[in-house]
């Protein structure tokens, strides 16, 4: 019975972690665009967006990432036999990429809190989709538990990535036509 509670907590913190990752990059986009505004607008927008990013990142996203890791190891302890299966190695590889993504987001967060914009809003829009791709990979691997599915999953991820890139380009074109960029 304890295992079910641990697994439920792991899933809950995975969800809150992804929610934080998805929203923080949107805030990065807004922060980057705010720094391109006239000084009087920057003076209003930047502090508010910095506060929102700080609360999201430090109160929700980081704790969720840490608790996901703790409960994930705990679940793995109960299901150690899964470590002999190839799908689990692949899944843990994608999880490692997700933590790398998280640390890169932390660097972007720290830079933007200091007013340093090293990424364009378009680059950040593309970066935002990396978490989506990792989410798809991890969920399909853990649900299907099959390395054969990984091949099809990778094909699906490539197609999904291409569709997302097309969507980003289309959205940028729409914004340009409306004079928002």
pLDDT tens profile 36-45: 999 999 999 9
Give the model's confidence band at 158: pLDDT under 50 very low, under 70 low, under 90 confident, else very high. Answer: confident
Is residue 116 classed as helix, strand or coil in its secondary structure? coil
- Sequence-separated (6 or more) residues with CB below 8 Å from residue 7: 71, 75
pLDDT tens profile 123-133: 999 899 899 88
- pLDDT surpasses 90 at 175: no
Residue (of 123, 119, 105) closest to 17 by Cα position: 105
CA distance 178 to 176: 5
- pLDDT surpasses 90 at 82: no
- pLDDT surpasses 90 at 12: yes
Give the model's confidence band at 181: pLDDT under 50 very low, under 70 low, under 90 confident, else very high. Answer: low
CB neighbours of residue 147 within 10 Å = 15
10 is in an annotated binding site: yes
CB neighbours of residue 41 within 10 Å = 12
Residue (of 97, 106, 115) closest to 62 by Cα position: 106
Q: What pTM value is reported for the model?
A: 0.84
Confirm if 30 and 5 have CB atoms less than 8 A apart: no
């Amino acid at each position: 019975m304890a295992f079910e509670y641990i697994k439920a907590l792991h899933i809950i913190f995975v969800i809150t972690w992804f929610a934080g990752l998805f929203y923080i990059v949107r805030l990065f986009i807004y922060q980057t665009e705010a720094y391109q505004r006239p000084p009087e607008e920057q003076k209003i927008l930047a502090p508010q967006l910095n506060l929102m990013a700080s609360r999201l990142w430090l109160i929700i996203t980081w704790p969720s990432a840490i608790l996901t890791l703790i409960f994930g190891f705990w679940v793995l302890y109960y299901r150690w036999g899964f470590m002999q299966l190839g799908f689990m190695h692949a899944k843990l590889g994608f999880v490692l990429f997700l933590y790398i993504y998280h640390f890169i987001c932390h660097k972007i967060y720290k830079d933007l809190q200091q007013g340093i914009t090293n990424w364009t809003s378009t680059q950040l829009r593309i970066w935002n989709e990396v978490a989506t791709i990792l989410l798809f990979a991890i969920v399909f691997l853990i649900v299907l538990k099959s390395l054969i599915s990984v091949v099809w999953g990778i094909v699906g991820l490539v197609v999904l990535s291409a569709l997302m890139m097309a969507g980003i380009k289309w959205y940028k074109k729409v914004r340009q036509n409306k004079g928002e960029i």
